[in-house]
Amino acid sequence: MFPKWEFDDKGPDVPADVPVDVPAAAPADASSSEDKAPEPSLVLLDKNQSTVSDLQKEDARYLEKRAAALALCRAKSDLTRKLAASQKSP
């Protein structure tokens, strides 16, 4: 039905419908894997370098302190404004 190609021929004693054996991939050289040091499962962090969570905590702390300071300044400003208005002479 289809034309026969050179690579279709598997030999005289092998039927055409049997798949060709593909050689298995050669295993990696066992000695080369033993020479390499195993990867550490523990991550060491530099104490002087901040982590992402440290930076996020710092930012949150800063924003809380800033909001408290602004609230205090507004309260003082309101109090000063009220006192100034009541102490004015007509």
Please count the structural domains in the chain: 1
Q: Is position 10 within any domain?
A: no
> Average of pLDDT values for 16-43?
61
Q: Is residue 70 classed as helix, strand or coil in its secondary structure?
A: helix
pTM of the model: 0.40
Range of the domain at 73: 53-85
C-alpha to C-alpha distance for 39 and 29, rounded to whole angstroms: 18
- Residues 37-85 have pLDDT tens digits of 777 677 777 888 888 899 999 999 999 999 999 999 999 888 888 887 7
Q: What length does the chain have?
A: 90
State the Cα torsion 43-44-50-51 to the nearest 10°: 10
Q: Is position 68 within any domain?
A: yes
